Amino acid sequence: MTTFDDREQGFEKKFALDQEQEFKATARRNRALGKWAAGLMGLEGKHVDDYAKAVVKSEVDHPADDDVLRKVFEDLKGSGVAVTEGDVRMKMAEFMAQAREEAKTKKG
């Protein structure tokens, strides 16, 4: 095997690891977003975890940030919570930054 082949395999492994970490960070972000939204909707106890799981599942069923945003925003709006789409988007960004940082910390 050549040095080029070794480097190529190294890059492939790093890419796979990065993708896995991003997937885990997204799931962690969605769980935190779900818990935040559940709190705003007045959910308590088991209902908070159930809602957070539903938000995580919405990403798995339709892998796009806009689908998660739409679900949470519509649920909040339907519950009478005065929140804008921008508010939800900012929380998503905040929770994603936290989730990525946690992923880095756990990696090392």
Residues 5-56: pLDDT tens digits?
Answer: 777 887 788 888 878 888 899 999 999 999 999 999 999 999 999 999 999 9
Q: What is the CATH number of domain 3-107?
A: 1.10.790.20
Extract the tokens encoding 1.
């095997």
> How crowded is the C-beta side of 45, counted as CA atoms within 13 Å?
1
- Nearest-Å Rg of the Cα atoms of the chain is 17
Residue 108, pLDDT > 50, answer no
What residue spans define the domains of the chain? Answer: 3-107
pTM: 0.83
Extract the tokens encoding 43.
């959910």
Residue 98 contacts residue 25 (beta carbons within 8 Å): no
Extract the tokens encoding 14.
């790093």
